Amino acid sequence: MSDAPRQLSLNLFLHPAGHHEAAWRHPSSSPDRIYDADYYVQLAQRAEAAKLDAVFFADGPVLHRGVEFNSVGHPEPILTLATIAAHTERIGLIATASTTFYEPYNLARLFATLDHLSHGRAGWNIVTTAAADAAANFGLDAHPDPEVRYARADEFLRAATRLWDSWEDDAILLDREAGRYADPSKIHAVEFAGEHVRVAGPLNVKRSPQGHPVLVQAGASNAGRDFAARWAEAIFTAHQRLEDAQAFYADIKAGAHRHGRRAEQVKILPGISPFIGSTEAEARILERELNELTVPEYGLRQLGTLAGVDLTGLELDAPVPLEIFSGAGDVTDNARSRLQVVAGIVERERPTTRELLHRLAGARGHRVVAGTPEQVADTIEEWFTRGAADGFNVMPPALPAGLDAFVDHVVPILQARGLFRTEYTGTTLRDHLGLGRPANRYTRERAEAELVGAGAGAEGGVR
Amino acid sequence: MSDAPRQLSLNLFLHPAGHHEAAWRHPSSSPDRIYDADYYVQLAQRAEAAKLDAVFFADGPVLHRGVEFNSVGHPEPILTLATIAAHTERIGLIATASTTFYEPYNLARLFATLDHLSHGRAGWNIVTTAAADAAANFGLDAHPDPEVRYARADEFLRAATRLWDSWEDDAILLDREAGRYADPSKIHAVEFAGEHVRVAGPLNVKRSPQGHPVLVQAGASNAGRDFAARWAEAIFTAHQRLEDAQAFYADIKAGAHRHGRRAEQVKILPGISPFIGSTEAEARILERELNELTVPEYGLRQLGTLAGVDLTGLELDAPVPLEIFSGAGDVTDNARSRLQVVAGIVERERPTTRELLHRLAGARGHRVVAGTPEQVADTIEEWFTRGAADGFNVMPPALPAGLDAFVDHVVPILQARGLFRTEYTGTTLRDHLGLGRPANRYTRERAEAELVGAGAGAEGGVR
């Protein structure tokens, strides 16, 4: 621990046209550019100029419903971030990928490569994929239960971290004179055999600059929380209220402690979607403009899917019927935790259906704030200093305009208050987040075996 | 068909330190840079300046044996090519990936994304992975037989091409005023259900600039040839002699014809590894320098693996014992076809074991030529004009020096002879290779149904 004051972490959450569901209809977005590499490169360069920790890109291996009314579908994140890596120097690159629908060998290889190509800026947002219709894209008759998905995810991480360690850091000799490229005793078969995952190894790429990519996780279900406490180095989460965020923060830090980890090894980063104006009224006008562009048919379909009920034809200007939330039998664990957030809003505020749809249109259950740059900065500072957040995943309502407003007007205030860096102090994503580089398990085992004296404890090398 | 003279296709085959197995030991290579994005970007920029069709990157999901003596292990190709795409404008980008060890949905998404990010320059070198020890990296007890691998590959391609077509080219409306992003009747479930592959679709990315990435194939086994005749738009192949290359060329073109394809829709591109000197003697000195850097222990192990016999301790300066090629019972179909090439060399030339190992060290069974730029150009022209090749996959013995020699000295001769372009005439890899953009099958079905008059033939859209 250094004596420097604790600093915020801030990520830009990339989302094709922006995080508001009607972003693509608003003149401040560029939906015609969402398949264009330059679009994402320019957003990342703006974020890097503001010294943000990382860009983050969500994903799922299925076309989400509602393409008639919303700009769903977008380039694959890992490749998009490789393109961004080629045109940036410092900013972290966090891509989402599913442990349920990828093979560990392939995915470990992709993230190790991204870490090499970016000189140590890769992060992996680990998801198990809640969307049930993804299963049919992978030859499965039914979507695996959350328990099965998280059991596989745990084995996947155990296998992947071994693969990332399979080359010790000093395995490559590059001895041209003697004709020895590598020391085979420092390249290890991993021989991981679990119930869901089996991998022999070694990986076919040397250990990457960060050792392991930064491990990020976003599930808020109970199974997700336990997985996060065990594995995650950063957690993206959704909370509407300070007290809920504080409870989650305390729960995760305690869970990490139970797994033998220090609290500061897990960064908690709620989503925040800021509408920014030179006055609060101006910010609210922008929010209303976007809300009025929503298509109620789309919003009802999304909410109905979340609640597991058909809401077609629901009266928009009457209060939300509370019974929508009572059934909810056949929804996923993940959907249930998001549904609880929505039910909380309805119980506290008793909105009309139209008002609720507008509320949800903002950022899919994440916190929406509208105000001046100072007001947005105040909110960020409050959550940061009151045990609710270590930083934020910033979700601009529309891109690129919403990012410009945040980096031009909010970031300088946070910097002036001493809460956020004015220059990068390191080169890797681990540096930005204050996370250590993981020791190589095989090197550690060798050292431990040598301490014991026998010298026979480390697993033998291969090839 | 245009009246322009037939033009060579030339690709740069990227291989970490170069294609000669001792390349990493030679001062003209840069093995310390093989995990560095800039290294690959600079090689591709040199190839682009010479107007080459594409860069090509081989791969397999396993660490090949021999890391003690050779620079095996390298970054994942699709990501590396995405990085190259960010710093080039025209050159094609062909990555290798395995149908045996990838999921069709994931891989179709990656290649569609590479095609978007590069504005239409993606190619996929389709392999089924001959290396038997890859299976253990994917939880399999045994490596699938070639028949099973190619049966899966065929289904994989049928599923992937449907996924790439699942958005019709005009599916996106982007009608901000009406709030309609896409026409759901033009986005299709693919509902592919085979014995090895099942995919529901649609893909979660719109149709890419080339429609489908260029489909490339490299297997020379019988199963591989039939697959290639059905699917491949370009074929990478290995031949030592003109007459063998001519026979292969005729066989593949005839096979394509049987599958209802025109001969010019399949480009045949043998590998060629040129040692280039200002005199032939100088070229041979370079070749000898590299051969003398080989490690016999490594070469014997590689040859023994290919032949399925243990060659440890074989006398290096005695003639190769012919009986090592007689057993060869337990080798793969793919290994057998490579082994036939090696047996042919031994029967014709009766080399010592050391001489054979040097011969194989050059480019793993591909053709090695040593000579002046004119001599190398003569060889290329002869094969091109005598029905043995539509172009070449250029395999520099050491990188970057071997590439510099080829583009600085051989390419200008081929250009002066009118055999190779002096400027790109198109922007996509399909343009460079003279391949058409595939029609979208759902658009075609709709048009056919409308011709029939019922208007009910095209499959309905989704979402």
Residue A172 lies in a domain: yes
Query: Which residues in A337-346 are b (16+ Cβ under 10 Å) and which e?
Result: bbbebbbebb
Give residue A457's pLDDT: 45
**How close does chain A come to B387, measured CA to CA in Å?**
38
Task: Tell me which chain A residue has its CA closest to the CA of residue B62.
Answer: A204
- The predicted structure's pLDDT at residue B333: 59
Q: How far apart are CA A81 and CA A121, in angstroms?
A: 10
State residue B251's pLDDT score: 92
Please give the residue range of the domain that contains residue A193: 9-296+366-435
Q: Would B114 be classed as within a structural domain?
A: yes
**Between A68, A79, A199, which is nearest B181 by CB?**
A68
pLDDT tens for each residue of B11-58: 999 999 999 999 999 999 999 999 999 999 999 999 999 999 999 999
Low-confidence ranges of chain B (pLDDT < 70): 1-3, 219-220, 327-335, 454-463
Q: Which chain B residues are Cβ-neighbours of A174 within 8 angstroms?
A: 24, 31-32
The secondary structure of A298-311, three-state, reads HHHHHHHHHHCCCC
Residue pair A49/A407 in contact by the 8 Å Cβ criterion: yes
Q: Do B83 and A82 touch (CB under 8 A)?
A: yes
The answer to whether A100 and A91 are in contact (CB under 8 A) is no
The complex's ipTM works out to 0.95
Provide the 3-class DSSP secondary structure of residue A125.
strand
How many domains are there within chain B?
Answer: 1
Partner residue facing A63 (CB), from B41, B64, B204: B204
Whole-angstrom CA distances from B458 to A107, B141, B158, B173, B449 are 37, 43, 18, 20, 6
Residue A353, token pair as written in the block = 């259906």
B82 vs A contacts (CB less than 8 Å): 79-80, 82-83, 86
Give the nearest chain B residue to A82 (CA atoms). Answer: B83
Using the Cβ of A192 and the Cβ atoms of chain B, whether some distance falls under 8 Å is answered with no
CB contact under 8 A, B63 and A202: yes
- pLDDT given at position B457: 45
Whole-angstrom distance, CA of residue B113 vs CA of residue A158? 29
Tell whether B85 lies on the interface with A, counting CB pairs under 8 A.
yes
Q: Is residue B312 part of a domain?
A: no
CA-based nearest distance B59→chain A, Å: 10
Kindly state the tokens that stand for B170: 């005009």
How far is A38 from chain B, CA to nearest CA, in Å?
A: 8
Q: 3-class DSSP state for residue B319?
A: strand
Question: Does residue A328 fall inside a structural domain?
Answer: no
Asked if residue B221 lies in contact with residue B336, where contact means CB atoms within 8 angstroms, the answer is yes
The amino acid at residue A447 is: A
Q: Which are the contacts of B56, defined by CB distance < 8 A and separation ≥ 6?
A: B11, B12, B13, B14, B94, B96, B123, B125, B216, B236, B393
pLDDT at B1: 44
Provide φ and ψ at B235, rounded to 5°.
-125, 125
- Report the DSSP pairing between strands B214-217 and B234-237: parallel
Residue carrying the six token digits 């084995």: A155
Rg, Å, chain A Cα set: 23
Is there a contact between B179 and A110 if contact means CB atoms under 8 Å apart?
no
User: Can you list the residues of chain A whose pLDDT is less than 70?
Assistant: 1-3, 219-220, 327-335, 454-463
What CATH number does the domain containing A429 carry? 3.20.20.30
Residue B270 pairs in a beta bridge with: B237
| Alpha carbon separation from A55 to A109, A113, A143, A245, B427 (Å, rounded) | 21, 17, 30, 22, 30
Q: How far does CA B24 lie from the centroid of its chain?
A: 22
**CA B164 to CA B212: how far, in whole Å?**
6
Asked if residues A353 and A320 have their Cβ atoms less than 8 Å apart, the reply is yes
Instruction: Say yes or no for a CB contact (<8 Å) between B182 and A68.
Output: yes
Comparing alpha-carbon positions, the chain B residue that sits nearest to A194 is B139
Which of A337, A250, A271 lies closest to A15 in space, CA to CA? A271
Would you state the pLDDT for residue B394?
98
Question: Scanning the structure block, which residue is given the tokens 């066989």?
Answer: B251
The verdict on residue A16 lying in a domain is yes
**Domain assignment of residue B329, yes or no:** no
Which neighbouring-strand residues pair with A367?
Answer: A272
All residues at 6 or more sequence positions from A457 whose CB lies less than 8 Å from its CB, including other chains: A445, A446, A448, A449
2-31 in chain A: CB under 8 A from chain B: 22, 24-25, 31
**H helix intervals, A267-424:** 280-292, 296-307, 333-349, 353-361, 373-385, 401-405, 411-416
For residue A85, which residues of chain B lie inside 8 Å, CB to CB? 37, 83
Q: Which of A101, A133, A187 sits opposite B67 (nearest CB)?
A: A187
Residue A153 belongs to a domain: yes
Q: Is A284 on the interface with B (CB under 8 A)?
A: no
| CA–CA gap between residue B72 and residue B161 (Å, rounded) | 32
Q: Please count the CA atoms within 13 angstroms of the CA of A85 that sit on its side-chain side.
A: 36
Residue B123 parent element (H or E): strand B122-127
- Alpha-carbon distance of B252 to B427, in angstroms, equals 28
Count of other CB atoms within 10 angstroms of residue B351: 15
Residue the block writes with tokens 């003109």: B242
Q: Do A113 and B80 touch (CB under 8 A)?
A: yes
DSSP string covering B181-223: EE-GGGB----EE-SS-EE----SSPPBTTBSPEEEE---SHH
Tabulate helix, strand, coil % of chain A (nearest 5): 45, 15, 40
Answer yes or no: do A181 and B24 touch at CB < 8 A: yes
Binary contact (B204, A73; C-beta < 8 A): yes
Q: Of B83, B207, B298, which to mutate for an interface test with A (greatest number of A Cβ within 10 Å)?
A: B83
pLDDT at A240: 86
| In-domain check, residue A360 | no
> Which residues in chain B (110-169) have CB-CB distances under 8 A to chain A?
110, 112-114, 116-118, 133, 136-139, 167
Interface test with A, best of B28, B70, B129, B181 (most A CBs within 10 A): B181
